[in-house]
Amino acid sequence: MLELQNVNITFYKNTVNERRALQNVSLRLEQGDFATVIGSNGAGKSTLMNAISGFYDIDSGRILLDGEDISYQKEYKRARKIGRLFQDPLKGTAPNMTIEENLGLAYTRGARRGITSGIKKRDHGFFVEKLKTLDLGLEDRLKTPVKLLSGGQRQALTLLMATIVTPRLLLLDEHTAALDPKTAGKVLAITEEIVSKNHITTMMITHNIQDALTYGNKTIVMSGGRIVLELSGQERKTMTMERLLELYSSTANDTFSDKMIL
Amino acid sequence: MAMTTIMGALELGLILALMSVGMFISFRILNIPDLTVDGSFTLGSAFAATFAVQGQSGTGVLLAVVAGALAGAVTGLLQTKLKIQPILSGILTMTALYSVNLWVMGNKPNLSFFGKDTLFTPFERFLPELAAKIVPILLLLAIVTILIRLFLGTQLGLSLRATGDNEDMVRASSINSDAMKILGLSLSNAIVSLAGAVMAQYQVYADISGGIGMMVIGLASIIVGQALLGQKGGVTRGFVAAITGAVVYRFILTFALQSGMASNDLKILSAALVVIAISIPEVKKFIQKRRARRHA
Ligand SMILES: Nc1ncnc2c1ncn2[C@@H]1O[C@H](COP(=O)(O)OP(=O)(O)OP(=O)(O)O)[C@@H](O)[C@H]1O
Ligand SMILES: [Mg+2]
């Protein structure tokens, strides 16, 4: 369960460039919730995820994960519980290390890393099993340096790495945006499968309105650093793409948030 | 070249190879240009010589390793906790080490312990003269390299490698990248200091300026080795390249000296070698492009 209480982040505070990237953001996701997040460029979606993951320090407010206050925990410590994927496929893997070594590293997430072998014999079969589920033929290329993989393959591998030890929260920041439509569809399908199979609480940022409604059980619309709309249940089911698109595009100007507040 | 000259070049080359193996950890695995090296190499020599004078060579070498690790940790702390640029962090530690090294050597700029027992003494008893130095040096180099290579295959070792490869990914994988950098720099400088200690034991002598230019020599070894063995390949190949490069480098120097080059000119030769080895890929590219253009 993820809970945000009145979280604020302001960049370049007290200068002419002051930018309130998150304004009193409060949010609650239950265990197993899969929320999609939409909003125009600069709405604060990535900042929201970066605040949760600890990449940015928050100015005020509280962030709770399964009841534990992680507001001021170091990024690498939060990473024990939070899996993360970025838009850039290059960010999620170590290019000069092999597929197997990358998986070995991911598999020790949250554990104390000591001087026992990084890739144990008994893990080998497990990695092969997991790679097979991706259906990209990576199971035959365990010794290949990751830099030789395509963007889509790397992103699928990153997804596997982020979830090989089931995280308590999965953050996906436009993780298919850099992929061609076919590969993007495939990575999304794998995402859906892994998330639902393991009941992982998930947030997924996307600019694809159709995806935002198709995947998950909640949709969050952001604008100007605020959450301006939360859709779930019946309201979400009956929401059409056209209607949401209307709301979505009007978030580009701030009148939308005003309307929503009124 | 006389046999003794060849053996001498090989012995010195292998001691430099040990240093290059250490530097490989910071320069290649962590991707950090670490300028602590000149200071930590002398640090090792200083400890080895100071204790050898009292007939305690073993203790001296052990302390050299510990002191080198501490020096590396200082550079790591400056970089990670105080956010000082990697290059500047190394320069600061190196500068401070100059004073430290003088303290260790009792404020003497050089120490000779001719006639005292060294690490080589026990080997001299049962090995022929020609082998008495090269065998222990080779053994030490092999043990250190194998241990480091095994370490890099452990969970901790993988974390260290990933830190140099993709820091974004590392933090997202719950690895404390700061701790990894400190660990890596400690390890690196411990080995560099060990090489300095072995060098002092080998020469039965330590000099406060003995470490000057060592960073460039180590870099030359790593790069020359890579130019010879190719860019590709994993960590093992990198170590083999660094060792090969160091030996080749030393032979080039010996050859230059033999053909009448003044020892004062050695440093400019070292620098030139680095430039040449680094520029080989660029030159190759340039030639290929020209060829392609001509055929177009
Ligand atoms: N590190 C930073 N320093 C200064 N300003 C920042 C920083 N990161 C984000 N911002 C600003 O905060 C605001 C929100 O940015 P954010 O990246 O969260 O938007 P986003 O919703 O993810 O947009 P996009 O859809 O383009 O990815 C923007 O105005 C941006 O310029
Ligand atoms: Mg963004």
Which listed ligand is nearest to A43 at the C-alpha? 1
Measured in angstroms, how far is the CA atom of residue A56 from the centroid of ligand 2? Answer: 14
Report DSSP letters for A176-202, one per residue.
TTTS-HHHHHHHHHHHHHHHHHHT--E
Share of chain A above pLDDT 70, in %: 94
- Phi-psi map region of B213: left, alpha, beta (phi>0 left; psi -120 to 50 alpha): left
- Taking alpha carbons only, the member of A139, A136, A118, A135 closest to residue A127 is A139
Q: Are A108 and B155 in contact (CB under 8 A)?
A: yes
Q: Which residue of B has its CA nearest to A101?
A: B158
- Domain B3-295 is found in CATH 1.10.10: no
Measured in angstroms, how far is the CA atom of residue A225 from the centroid of ligand 1? Answer: 9
Q: Give the pLDDT band (50/70/90) at residue A251.
A: low
Measured in angstroms, how far is the CA atom of residue A171 from the centroid of ligand 2? Answer: 12
- Taking alpha carbons only, the member of B189, B212, B274 closest to residue B38 is B212
Containing B11, the helix (H) or strand (E) segment is: helix B3-24
Q: Give the pLDDT band (50/70/90) at residue A256.
A: very low
Number of helices (H), then strands (E), in chain A:
10, 10
Least CB-CB distance to B159: which of A110, A113, A119? A113
| b/e A103-122 (16+ beta carbons within 10 angstroms → b) | bbbbbbbeeebeeeebbeee
Q: Give the pLDDT band (50/70/90) at residue A252.
A: low
Give the tens place of pLDDT for each residue, A103-120.
999 998 877 788 888 888
Measured in angstroms, how far is the CA atom of residue A50 from the centroid of ligand 1? Answer: 10
A-side interface with B, Cβ within 8 Å? 53, 74-77, 79-80, 83-84, 86, 90-97, 101-102, 104-106, 108-111, 113-119, 161-162
Ion ligand 2 — residues with CB under 5 Å? A 46
Q: Give the pLDDT band (50/70/90) at residue A178.
A: confident
Check residue B41 and give its pLDDT: 98
Q: Give the pLDDT band (50/70/90) at residue B47.
A: very high
- Phi-psi map region of B83: left, alpha, beta (phi>0 left; psi -120 to 50 alpha): left
Least CB-CB distance to B155: which of A86, A102, A113? A113
Q: Which residue of A has its CA nearest to B165?
A: A94
Check residue B295 and give its pLDDT: 80
Q: Which residue of B has its CA nearest to A73?
A: B174
Report DSSP letters for B60-128, one per residue.
HHHHHHHHHHHHHHHHHHHHHTS---HHHHHHHHHHHHHHHHHHHTTT-SEEE-TTS--TTHHHHHHS-
Q: Give the pLDDT band (50/70/90) at residue A154.
A: very high
Q: Are A43 and A222 in contact (CB under 8 A)?
A: yes
Rounded Cα distance between A33 and A1, Å, is: 8
Residue nearest to atom 3 of ligand 1 (CA): A11
Q: Give the pLDDT band (50/70/90) at residue A255.
A: very low
Q: How many CB atoms lie within 10 A of CB A260?
A: 16
Residues of B with Cβ-Cβ distance to A117 under 8 angstroms? 153-155
pLDDT (mean) for A10-38: 94
Q: Are A152 and A89 in contact (CB under 8 A)?
A: yes
C-alpha distances in Å from residue A154, one per residue of A131, A145, A193: 12, 11, 18
Give the distance, in angstroms, between the CA of residue B124 and the centroid of all CA atoms in the same chain.
26
Residues of A with Cβ-Cβ distance to B183 under 8 angstroms? none
CA atoms within 13 A on the CB side of B66: 8
Check residue A246 and give its pLDDT: 79
- Residues with C-beta less than 6 Å from any ligand 1 atom: A 11, 19, 21, 39, 41-47
Mean pLDDT of chain A: 89
Atom of ligand 1 nearest to the CA of A45: 21
pLDDT (mean) for A40-52: 94
Shortest Cα distance, chain B CAs vs residue A110, angstroms = 6
Q: Give the pLDDT band (50/70/90) at residue B282.
A: confident
- Please report the number of interchain residue pairs, chain A to chain B, with beta-carbon separation below 8 angstroms: 87
Amino acid present at B50: T
Measured in angstroms, how far is the CA atom of residue A225 from the centroid of ligand 2? Answer: 12
Q: Give the pLDDT band (50/70/90) at residue A133.
A: confident
Containing A26, the helix (H) or strand (E) segment is: strand A19-29
Q: Which residue of A has its CA nearest to B155?
A: A118
Residue A257 pLDDT > 80, yes or no? no
Contacts of B120 (CB under 8 A, 6+ apart): B132, B133, B136, B201, B202
Query: Which residue out of A70, A108, A175 would a mutagenesis test of the B interface target, given it has the greatest number of B Cβ atoms within 10 Å?
Result: A108
pLDDT (mean) for A194-205: 95
- Phi, psi dihedral angles at B38 (to 5 degrees): -55, -40
Rounded Cα distance between B260 and B274, Å, is: 21
Domains and CATH numbers, chain A: 2-93+166-261 (3.40.50.300)
Give the tens place of pLDDT for each residue, B179-211.
999 999 999 999 999 999 999 999 999 999 999
pLDDT (mean) for A160-176: 95
- Taking alpha carbons only, the member of A116, A111, A109, A159 closest to residue A134 is A159
Residue nearest to atom 30 of ligand 1 (CA): A42
Rounded Cα distance between A231 and A23, Å, is: 19
Check residue A262 and give its pLDDT: 36
Least CB-CB distance to A97: which of B154, B165, B171? B165
Number of helices (H), then strands (E), in chain B:
12, 2
Check residue A121 and give its pLDDT: 82
Q: What is the ipTM of this complex?
A: 0.84
Check residue B265 and give its pLDDT: 87
Atom of ligand 1 nearest to the CA of A40: 25
pLDDT (mean) for A50-72: 95
Q: What tokens does B124 get? A: 């001299």
Check residue A253 and give its pLDDT: 52
What are A20's strand-pairing partners?
A10
Check residue B206 and give its pLDDT: 96
Rounded Cα distance between B24 and A257, Å, is: 55
Least CB-CB distance to A76: which of B158, B161, B177? B177
Measured in angstroms, how far is the CA atom of residue B255 from the centroid of ligand 2? Answer: 59
